[in-house]
């Protein structure tokens, strides 16, 4: 592994780590691999000591719960896996809480459903909750809300959930700890000539065809869902690593030269979120901004309340707004952090005045740069 790609992990400030069921649970007994989890906690502690924010997306609820429920091996019915998740999730959260204790790391549980990432308002809320927790020094432990999601409205695998979370919180690294050390040209268990692919610049048709079906029975992922996760993550500007997590202290091993595959990030303007915003036909209102704010936007900055000169329309937090320059030209679309009532009270005011005016600690910007897409790059000049 070349140094430059390891640096991407070493330099990352916000890391989402996805932990697969097969790493965490002993397949034979259906019990937690305590020694492995203790060692992983030491790795997480080392990352935190380096000043990094860590978010964990952990599978294992169904695996832990099914053993406790006494379900036989093999495929579970939907209601059986949902009951297993309910039983296992509480054990899973407790396991992290206990394993983190010796390091004084505090865990916080978040259960997400597909709608939380697809609906813009819920997306913003989930993002803010996760960011609040990490900025307070907590380590969010995220899983899908398996107990209520039906098959049509669920992620179904934590690879893609982890990628959505990485994109949601603007992470700069997604680390998938798996039972394989990366992507191969073919299934290495079946083909001894299969070659490891260390760096994937673009997820081409050829790359997609290298993925076989799921490797282990315990999790639902396989290389297919990992490549889908890579597409979500890298198109949102976050690189993704697949590494072997089976031995103790897997993150320490990676930092000391263990093999992995890295999918490089793509230009973030190609992200589906920005495409969605770009193609919005029906903004719920508009913000007219001054020249300074227009220039800031063109330079990739967020929109602060101080730069807003006028507001039109009645809108809610999470709605799409058109952003106009002083000549009335639409220069951007963005998702607002404030409804029209609160936005009207804070326009022209400095960010540090927001809490006093509104009576609650609102967000620093009216529209975050990640939720903003420029429509005509020249019109603000
Ligand atoms: N959410 C599932 C669980 O916690 C796992 C999904 C997956 O294997 O990716 O059991």
Question: What's the CA-to-centroid distance between 159 and ligand 1, angstroms?
Answer: 9
Q: What mean pLDDT comes out for the span 158-169?
A: 90
pLDDT at 281: 42
Kindly state the average pLDDT of the residues 246-258. 96
Mutate to test the pocket of ligand 1, among 158, 214, 221, 226 (most ligand atoms within 8 A of CB): 158
**Model pTM above 0.85:** no
Q: How far is the centre of ligand 1, averaged over its atoms, from the C-alpha of 21 (Å)?
A: 7
Task: Give me the mean pLDDT over the 72-79 stretch.
Answer: 88
CB 180 within 8 A of CB 244: yes
Predicted pLDDT at 15: 97
Ligand 1 atom closest to the Cα of residue 221 is 9
> Quick one: average pLDDT of 344-354?
93
Most confident option among 120-129, 137-146, 369-378: 137-146
Does residue 361 surpass a pLDDT of 90?
no
**CATH code for the structural domain at 283-374:** 2.30.130.10
Q: What is the pLDDT of residue 122?
A: 82
Q: What is the per-residue pLDDT for 221?
A: 52
Mean pLDDT of 191-214: 82
Which atom of ligand 1 sits closest to the CA of residue 225? Answer: 9
pLDDT at 379 over 70: no
Q: Which of 9, 38, 54 is closest to 162 using CA atoms?
A: 54
The rounded mean pLDDT for the chain is 87
List the beta strands (DSSP E) in 33-161: 53-58, 107-112, 139-144
- Judge contact between 213 and 224, C-beta under 8 A: yes
Q: What is the mean pLDDT of residues 170-192?
A: 90
Range with the largest mean pLDDT of 25-34, 86-95, 201-210: 86-95
Contacts of 3 (CB under 8 A, 6+ apart): none
In the chain, residues under CATH classification 2.30.130.10 are 283-374
Alpha-carbon separation of residue 163 from 39, 100, 233 (angstroms)? 24, 24, 5
Most confident of 248-252, 328-332, 358-362: 248-252
pLDDT band at 326 (very low <50, low <70, confident <90, very high): very high
**What's the CATH fold of domain 3-274?**
Carbamate kinase (3.40.1160)
DSSP bridge partners of 289 = 308
For ligand 1, atom 2: residue with the closest CA = 59
pLDDT for residue 99: 98
Residue scoring higher pLDDT (274 or 300): 300
Would you say how long the chain is, in residues?
381
**Which of 155-164, 205-214, 334-343 shows the lowest per-residue confidence on average (mean pLDDT)?**
205-214
158 in contact with ligand 1, CB cutoff 6 A: yes
* CA atoms lying within 13 Å on the CB side of residue 236: 28
Provide the pLDDT for residue 191. Answer: 84
The contacts of residue 314 (CB under 8 Å, 6+ apart) are 284, 285, 340
Task: Give span(s): CATH 3.40.1160.10, the chain.
Answer: 3-274
**Which pLDDT score, from 0 to 100, does residue 175 have?**
98
- Report how far residue 355's alpha carbon sits from residue 363's, in angstroms, rounded to the nearest whole number: 9
- Whether residue 277 is predicted with pLDDT greater than 70 in this model: the reply is no
pLDDT > 70 fraction of the chain, expressed in percent and rounded: 90
Tell me whether residue 48 is exposed, middle or buried, using C-beta atoms within 10 angstroms of its C-beta: 0 to 12, 13 to 18, 19 or more: middle
Q: Is the CB of 65 under 6 A from ligand 1?
A: no
Reported as a single tens digit per residue, the pLDDT across 204-215 is 888 888 775 444
Q: Is the pLDDT of residue 278 over 80?
A: no
259: three-class secondary structure by DSSP: coil
> Which residue from 153, 219, 242 has its CB within 8 A of the most atoms of ligand 1, so it is best to mutate?
219
The pLDDT of residue 210: 78
Q: Are 92 and 64 in contact (CB under 8 A)?
A: yes
What pLDDT, on a 0 to 100 scale, did the predictor assign at position 246? 96
Cα separation, 261 vs 198, in Å, equals 4
Closest CA to 156 of 117, 113, 126, 124: 113
- CB 145 near ligand 1, within 6 Å: no
């Amino acid at each position: 592994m070349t140094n430059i790609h390891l640096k991407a992990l070493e330099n990352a400030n916000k890391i989402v780590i996805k932990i697969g069921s097969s790493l965490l649970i002993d397949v034979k007994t259906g019990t937690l691999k305590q020694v492995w989890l203790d060692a992983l906690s030491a790795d997480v502690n080392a990352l935190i000591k380096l000043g990094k924010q860590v978010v964990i997306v952990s599978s294992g609820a169904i695996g832990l719960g099914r053993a406790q429920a006494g379900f036989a091996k093999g495929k579970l019915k939907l209601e059986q896996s949902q009951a297993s998740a309910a039983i296992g999730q509480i054990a899973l959260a407790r396991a992290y809480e206990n394993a983190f204790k010796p390091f004084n790391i505090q865990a916080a549980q978040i259960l997400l459903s597909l709608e939380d990432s697809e609906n813009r308002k819920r997306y913003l809320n989930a993002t803010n909750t996760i960011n609040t927790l990490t900025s307070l020094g907590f380590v969010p432990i995220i899983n899908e809300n398996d107990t209520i999601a039906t098959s049509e409205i669920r992620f179904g695998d934590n690879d893609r959930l982890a990628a959505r979370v990485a994109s949601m919180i603007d992470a700069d690294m997604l680390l998938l700890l798996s039972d394989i050390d990366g992507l191969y040209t073919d299934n290495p268990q079946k083909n001894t000539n299969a070659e490891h692919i260390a760096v994937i610049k673009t997820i081409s048709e050829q790359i997609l065809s290298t993925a076989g079906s799921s490797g282990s029975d315990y999790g639902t992922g396989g290389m297919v869902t990992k490549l889908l996760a890579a597409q979500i993550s890298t198109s949102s500007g976050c690189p993704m690593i697949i590494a072997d997590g089976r031995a103790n202290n897997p993150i320490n091993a990676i930092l000391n030269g263990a093999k992995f595959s890295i999918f490089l990030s793509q230009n973030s303007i190609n992200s589906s979120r920005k495409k969605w915003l770009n193609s919005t036909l029906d903004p719920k209102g508009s913000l007219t901004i001054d020249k300074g704010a227009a220039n800031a936007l063109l330079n990739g900055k967020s929109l602060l309340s101080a730069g807003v000169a006028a507001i039109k329309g009645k809108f809610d937090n999470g709605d799409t707004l058109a952003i106009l320059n002083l000549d009335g030209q639409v220069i951007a679309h963005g998702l607002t952090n404030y409804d029209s009532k609160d936005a009207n009270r804070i326009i022209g005011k400095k960010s540090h005045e927001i809490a006093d005016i509104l009576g609650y600690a609102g967000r620093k910007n009216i529209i975050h740069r990640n939720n903003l897409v420029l429509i005509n790059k020249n019109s603000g000049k």
